């Protein structure tokens, strides 16, 4: 049964050697220009044995940033930095998608050009604090995007998708999850608009649909993935009926024949899931990536039961660059050092040992 996890998989026209996906994980280690650098190249290359790497979230524009030192995909230097990453991963036989990210209200004026307010579908201040260069600061009330603003953001995603092609990626993942801008439009706890981008489910899905239209002008749909988090409360998110709302969203998106649907099942805070994720998988009909706290046995079981096609691993890949080899050979895993998850240099980034 365990062979299923290590068997090849056809992701559209892209052949994956195994079913293990390296999940996107923010590491806050970009250089002063928010560009990838040599350590970034080493980090991803070490993990090239994954069936598929999905990079950390990469801001699509300067005003999409929500955290310090996150590597963007909007400047020539950033494109060149990511090109070094993709070249090195491909040289090791790997496959790599970039995650396209706009943080929306999960930001702070100190992180944005001209100390601008963060933006959101509605002017609702999230509870919690932003990570800034001077420490934690309370979130502020964001500025509600105008319709013209929304069209500008859609074009930022289109340009970022084009930049990702120039940087040599195999595809892109649209980050519509975890309380960031697209997710803020999808869920009714954060979207209280009364125009064509709010209210009905059709209207709340409109922003994501327009972004996917734009991204699919630059990439074939079978190289565009999508990440959703129907019930994750991270970043002060909520929805009145995630099961029915996200079943509707997924049913509407099905016809696009995207590369995959990548779902964080449940809540990052550890609450028990309330959504039937098998129903979402069945509604989508295409490649489904399961994510959230999977270990080998749970992944093997989920694959055997048909609950998913691929399984994303986060922290295990962070701490074990040779995770595929370790799981295949039942070699004990390195423990992860949480103190070095975010920021810093090589420690906790590129210095985790290989098994051999």
> Could you list the active site residues?
180
Run of H or E including 173: strand 171-176
Q: Distance between CA atoms of 20 and 140, rounded to whole angstroms?
A: 38
Pairwise CA distance, residues 335 & 168, whole Å: 32
Which 3 state secondary structure label does DSSP give 279? helix
Residue 72 in 3-state DSSP?
A: coil
Angle of helix 277-284 relative to helix 242-253, nearest 10 degrees?
20
Question: What CA–CA distance (Å, rounded) separates 289 from 307?
Answer: 9
What are the structure tokens assigned to 298, written together?
A: 């749970």
| Residues facing 263 on adjacent strands | 228, 290
SS (H, E, C) 264-324: ECCCCCCCCCCCCHHHHHHHHCCCEEEECCCCHHHHHHHHHCCCCCEEEECHHHHHCCCHH
Distance CA 182, CA 208 (A): 6
Sequence-distant (6+) residues with CB within 8 A of 16 are 8, 9, 10, 51, 52, 95, 310
Q: What is the CA radius of gyration of the chain?
A: 19
């Amino acid at each position: 049964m365990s062979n299923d996890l290590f068997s090849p998989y056809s992701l559209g026209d892209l052949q994956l050697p195994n079913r293990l996906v390296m999940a996107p994980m923010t590491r806050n280690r970009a250089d002063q220009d928010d560009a990838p650098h040599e350590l970034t190249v080493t980090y991803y290359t070490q993990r090239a044995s994954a069936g598929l790497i999905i990079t950390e979230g990469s801001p699509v524009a300067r005003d999409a940033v929500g955290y310090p030192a996150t590597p963007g995909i909007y400047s020539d230097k950033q494109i060149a930095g990511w090109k070094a990453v993709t070249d090195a991963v491909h040289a090791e036989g790997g496959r790599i998608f970039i995650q396209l990210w706009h943080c929306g209200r999960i930001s702070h004026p100190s992180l944005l050009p001209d100390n601008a307010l963060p933006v959101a579908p509605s002017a609702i201040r999230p509870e919690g604090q932003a990570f800034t260069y001077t420490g934690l600061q309370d979130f502020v009330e964001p500025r509600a995007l105008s319709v013209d603003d929304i069209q500008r953001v859609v074009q930022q995603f289109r340009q970022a998708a084009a930049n990702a092609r120039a940087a040599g990626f195999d595809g892109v993942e649209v980050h519509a999850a975890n309380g960031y801008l697209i997710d803020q439009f999808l869920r009714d706890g954060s979207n209280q608009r009364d125009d064509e981008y709010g209210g009905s489910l059709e209207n709340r899905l409109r922003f994501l649909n327009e972004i996917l239209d734009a991204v699919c002008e630059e990439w074939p749909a079978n190289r565009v993935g999508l990440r959703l988090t129907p019930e994750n409360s991270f970043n002060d998110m909520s929805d009145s009926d995630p099961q029915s709302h996200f079943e509707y969203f997924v049913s509407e998106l099905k016809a696009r024949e995207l590369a995959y649907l990548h779902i964080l099942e449940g809540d990052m805070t550890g609450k028990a899931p309330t959504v039937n994720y098998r129903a979402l998988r069945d509604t989508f009909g295409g490649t489904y990536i399961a994510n959230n706290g999977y270990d080998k046995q749970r992944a093997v079981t989920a694959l055997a039961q048909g609950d998913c096609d691929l399984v994303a691993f986060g922290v295990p890949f962070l701490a074990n660059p040779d995770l595929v080899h370790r799981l295949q050979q039942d070699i004990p895993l390195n423990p992860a050092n949480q103190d070095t998850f975010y920021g810093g240099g090589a420690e906790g980034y590129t210095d985790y040992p290989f098994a051999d």
